[in-house]
Amino acid sequence: MFSTDRTNEWFKSFTDNYKVSGILSPMLDLKLKHSKRVSEICSETACSMEWDEEGDRWMAYSAGLLHDVGRFPQYKTYGTFLDSKSVDHGDLGAEIIAKEFNWKGIPDNFRENIISAVKFHNKKKVPTNLKLGAYKWSCLVRDADKIDIYRMVQERIDNGTIFEMLPRHQAAEGLSSDLVEEVRRTGSVSYCNARSLQDYRLIQLTWGSDLNFPVSVAALREEKIIERIREDLRPYGINDLVDKIVNQIYSMA
């Protein structure tokens, strides 16, 4: 009943529909590989927290692999991954898997957990009125998604390919005053205020305050990713704000 093969087969069939001449576009291939890594991170995190009730391994794997299915029709239709200029990819992904995934033999509460994890992985906050299971799995996917993006961005900065991933951030340099003010005022940000790579790094830093599990913070601390972001932002005169956010993140571990 809980077969990762089933999930893999459905995901492959779904993503194959977006190939042109047998090949995914570079941006969709990026999302395909990201989805696989998020699935692995979800599985590793759930295992480290000893979530081992019946179906837990399947849900961790499947929620991670399916979390970004909405990205594929989003990019095909709109040519962008910006939800604000297209469609909410979490909502779209939840609609797709609710209708199209092979749920045969899967208990209703497991189905609800996976759909909720896909729907809420990209929202500013997970609704507190969700059932406990749906809330738990949504939080897991949110953490895993952030961890992989942290790693992916750092790797691309290091190898000089970051603007292949973030092309629109190449035109500007430095921090947006509106973005910095928003972070100081609210602790979170609107992506629409981001112009430069430095803006994106500040946004990434704020994500750390929204991590749900100490093991997630510990992974980023061990890999020194938060410290790399802090150092990247040192030249821009907001050390007090950066240090405050970093301390908040580390206090969770």
Number of separate domains in the chain: 2
Whether the per-residue pLDDT at 158 is higher than 70: the answer is yes
Confirm whether 153 is domain-assigned.
Answer: no
Residue 52 carries which DSSP code? -
Are 123 and 181 in a shared domain?
no
Residues 136 and 42 in one domain: yes
Residue type, 41: I
Average model confidence (pLDDT) across the chain: 95
**Is there a domain that residue 10 lies in?**
yes
Bridge-partner residues for 196, per DSSP? 172
Give yes or no: residues 66 and 188 share one domain.
Answer: no
3-state helix, strand, coil in the chain (%, to 5): 70, 0, 30
- Would 156 be classed as within a structural domain? no
* Residue 248 to residues 100, 187, 205, 207, Cα–Cα distance (Å): 41, 11, 11, 11
Residue 184 has pLDDT above 90, yes or no: yes
Band (157; pLDDT cuts 50, 70, 90): very high
240 and 170 share one domain:
yes
Judge whether 141 and 117 are in contact, CB under 8 Å.
Answer: yes
Determine, yes or no, domain membership for 154: no
Say if residue 177 is in the same domain as residue 132: no
Please give the residue range of the domain that contains residue 196: 166-250
Query: Tokens for 137?
Result: 């799995």
Same domain, 139 and 205: no
Do 106 and 222 belong together in one domain? no
Q: What CATH number did the domain enclosing 78 receive?
A: 1.10.3210.10
Q: What does the pLDDT read at residue 189?
A: 82
Alpha-carbon distance of 202 to 85, in angstroms, equals 22
Give a yes or no: residue 157 inside a domain: no
175 falls within a domain: yes
Residues in the chain: 253
Question: pLDDT over 90 for what percent of the chain?
Answer: 89
Provide the 8-state DSSP code for 23: B
pLDDT band of 192, cuts 50, 70, 90: confident
Helices (H) and strands (E) in the chain, counts: 13, 0
Mean pLDDT value across residues 60-84: 96
Q: Could you tell me if residue 158 is inside a domain?
A: no
Of the chain, the percentage scoring pLDDT greater than 70 comes to: 100
Nearest Cα to Cα of residue 148 among 63, 37, 250, 226: 37
| Residues 12 and 133 occupy one common structural domain | yes
| pLDDT tier at 191, thresholds 50, 70, 90 | confident
Encoded amino acid at 204, one letter:
Q
28 & 131 share domain: yes
What tokens were used for 40?
């692995």
CA distance 93 to 77: 14
Within this chain, do residues 131 and 12 fall inside the same structural domain, yes or no? Answer: yes
Does the CA dihedral 162-167-171-173 come out positive or negative?
negative
Residue 167, burial from CB neighbour count under 10 angstroms (0-12, 13-18, 19+): exposed
- The pTM score is 0.94
Q: Are residues 119 and 221 in the same domain?
A: no
Residues 193-217 pLDDT 10s: 788 999 999 999 999 999 999 999 9
Q: Which pLDDT score, from 0 to 100, does residue 172 have?
A: 87
φ, ψ of residue 172 to 5 degrees: the values are -120, 160
| Cross-strand partners of 20 | 23
Q: What is the DSSP letter of 169?
A: G
- Are 192 and 125 members of one domain? no
- Average pLDDT in the 102-130 region? 95
Among the candidates 86, 112, 145, a domain finishes at 145
